[in-house]
């Protein structure tokens, strides 16, 4: 009996949608806790100071920032591994494969940002959040897609995965360029030395991942102290991990790390991040609060902007012969994916923490992200659930006139 239960648990954990479902459950739990008699405990726990000190070096942050700066660096490390693999050997390794998701991703970042800017252009403080609706949550979007099972062709899943990975790459560039605090040149210089050592290790054929991770942790501390957001260190470290070389066990170091890290991130890092960042008090929340410029800009950016950007740019790209639609995918299914791309959640909340630190703005960000992501996810699921399946019989150039 016990072995049967454990078998079912293992099967559930390996299901494609499991990570997204757990992420959703963590977000719901955060909302429940922050709107219950235990809200004081929830807030106190996240504000608990955590200090790590070695000699004169001290890192003193509340638990919330350890989650956002530390655990999320592991998430971005995994994202970096996925980006490198896809660029070198995967769905982004040739222009023919990457053109459609690349064009769609560009539109899916540009249009939501423009919608937000249009609604918040008069307030320089609010404008700091322009990148929040440009993000897509890979785990959540793919989790919803996985719930549809065989109703969704593999090529559509590949398109969404490539789109979301390119979206993450764009988010990484945005964080580096626009959400960097005052720079400490000394710490940054030491961090760059660490990055140089990692590159040299790669060039010299070092395959023991422990060596990369030791240097990487030191580099993460330096980047954290430099003012550049520490999660970017995770991406830089990931890009130096060898993909094609083999370690002592005959494995690719990058693929081995990606395989071992994925469950930890899917079932640990991301649910913890959601639990820590999705809590918002709904007490005295009015319709006017949802229609305020920041939450409205985020919600419309995710729901409307992603639809227009992803679907519109994909259609335009095929019309101009820059790319082609997979032969077994319909434009209605592409529209469904465009809706799912509006699930910003983890990435949008994360960028929101970089854009705004005060509680009032943070609440507005959460309202907008939760509203836009929820509506996008539900409608995206329904569109794909009832969209007719298409036999693989032709290469589409665009929707019928």
Residue 201: give its domain's CATH number: 1.20.1530.10
DSSP character string of 180-232: --S--HHHHHHHHHHHHHHHHHHHTT---HHHHHHHHHHHHHHHHHHSS-THH
Question: In 90-133, which residue ranges form alpha helices assigned H by DSSP?
Answer: 95-120
Residue 27 lies in a domain: yes
pLDDT digits (tens, 9 = 90+) for 118-175: 999 888 899 999 999 998 888 788 888 888 877 888 888 889 988 988 888 888 888 8
| Residue 292: burial class (beta carbons within 10 Å; 0-12, 13-18, 19+) | middle
- Over its C-alpha atoms, the chain yields an Rg (Å, rounded) of 21
Encode the chain (401 residues) as per-residue pLDDT tens digits: 555 544 544 544 455 567 778 888 898 999 999 899 988 899 899 999 998 888 777 888 899 889 988 888 899 899 899 989 988 988 788 888 889 999 999 999 999 999 999 999 888 899 999 999 998 888 788 888 888 877 888 888 889 988 988 888 888 888 888 887 677 888 889 999 999 999 999 999 999 999 999 999 999 998 888 877 778 888 899 999 999 999 888 999 999 999 999 889 988 998 999 999 888 888 777 778 888 999 999 999 999 999 999 999 999 999 999 998 888 899 999 999 999 999 998 889 999 988 998 888 888 999 999 999 999 999 999 999 998 877 655 444 445 44
pLDDT digits (tens, 9 = 90+) for 327-360: 889 999 999 999 999 999 888 999 998 899 888 8
What's residue 177's pLDDT? 82
- The candidate with the shortest Cα–Cα distance to 274, out of 369, 196, 339, is 369
- The candidate with the shortest Cα–Cα distance to 342, out of 174, 130, 28, 132, is 132
Q: CA-to-CA distance for 247 and 101, rounded, in angstroms?
A: 33
Residue 399 lies in a domain: no
- DSSP conformational letter for 48: -
Residue 6 lies in a domain: no
- The candidate with the shortest Cα–Cα distance to 175, out of 233, 120, 103, is 233
Three-state DSSP class for residue 50: strand
Question: In 14-47, which residue ranges form alpha helices assigned H by DSSP?
Answer: 18-34, 39-46
What's residue 16's pLDDT? 57
E strand or H helix that includes residue 52: strand 49-54
C-alpha torsion 243→246→251→252, nearest 10: 0
Q: CA-to-CA distance for 310 and 98, rounded, in angstroms?
A: 14
Copy the structure tokens of residue 355. Answer: 């854009």
Structural domain span for residue 380: 17-386
Residue 397 lies in a domain: no
What's residue 395's pLDDT? 42
Residue 279 lies in a domain: yes
Q: CA-to-CA distance for 117 and 387, rounded, in angstroms?
A: 33
What's residue 3's pLDDT? 54
Q: CA-to-CA distance for 62 and 150, rounded, in angstroms?
A: 44
Residue 1 lies in a domain: no
State how many domains the chain has: 1
Query: CA angle, corner 378, sides to 68 and 112, nearest 5?
Result: 60
SS3 content of the chain, % helix, strand, coil (to 5): 70, 5, 25
Residue 392 lies in a domain: no
């Amino acid at each position: 009996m016990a072995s049967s239960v454990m078998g079912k648990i293992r099967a559930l954990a390996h299901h494609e949608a499991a990570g997204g479902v757990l992420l959703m459950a963590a977000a719901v739990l955060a909302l429940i806790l922050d709107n219950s008699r235990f809200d004081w405990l929830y807030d106190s726990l996240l504000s608990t100071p955590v200090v790590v000190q070695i000699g004169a070096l001290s890192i003193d942050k509340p638990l919330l920032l350890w989650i956002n700066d530390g655990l999320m660096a592991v998430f971005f490390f995994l994202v970096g591994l996925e980006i490198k693999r896809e660029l070198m050997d995967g769905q982004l390794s040739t222009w023919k494969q990457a053109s459609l998701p690349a064009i769609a991703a560009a539109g899916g970042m540009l249009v939501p940002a423009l919608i937000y800017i249009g609604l918040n252009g008069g307030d320089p403080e609010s404008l700091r959040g322009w990148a929040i609706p440009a993000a897509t949550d890979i785990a959540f979007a793919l989790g919803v897609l996985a719930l549809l099972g065989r109703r969704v062709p593999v090529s559509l899943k590949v398109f969404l995965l490539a789109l979301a990975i390119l979206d993450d790459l764009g988010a990484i560039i945005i964080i580096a360029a626009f959400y960097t605090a005052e720079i400490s040149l000394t710490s940054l210089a030491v961090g760059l030395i660490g990055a140089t050592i990692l590159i040299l290790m790669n060039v010299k054929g070092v395959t023991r991942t422990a060596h990369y991770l030791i240097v990487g942790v030191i580099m993460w501390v330096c980047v954290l102290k430099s003012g550049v957001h520490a999660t970017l260190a995770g991406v830089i470290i990931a890009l130096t991990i060898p993909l094609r070389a083999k370690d002592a066990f005959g494995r690719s170091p990058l693929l081995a790390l990606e395989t071992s890290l994925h469950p930890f991130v899917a079932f640990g890092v991301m649910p913890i991040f959601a639990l820590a960042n999705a809590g918002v008090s709904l007490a005295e929340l009015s319709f006017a609060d949802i229609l305020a410029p920041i939450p409205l800009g985020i919600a419309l950016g995710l729901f409307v902007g992603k639809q227009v950007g992803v679907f519109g740019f994909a259609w335009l790209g095929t019309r101009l012969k820059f790319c082609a639609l997979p032969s077994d995918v319909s434009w209605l299914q592409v529209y469904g994916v465009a809706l799912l791309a509006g699930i910003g959640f983890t990435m949008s909340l994360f960028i929101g923490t970089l854009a705004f630190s005060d509680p009032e703005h943070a609440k507005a960000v959460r309202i907008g992200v939760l509203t836009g992501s929820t509506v996008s996810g539900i409608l995206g699921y329904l569109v794909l659930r009832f969209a007719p399946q298409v036999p693989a019989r032709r290469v589409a150039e665009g929707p019928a006139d």
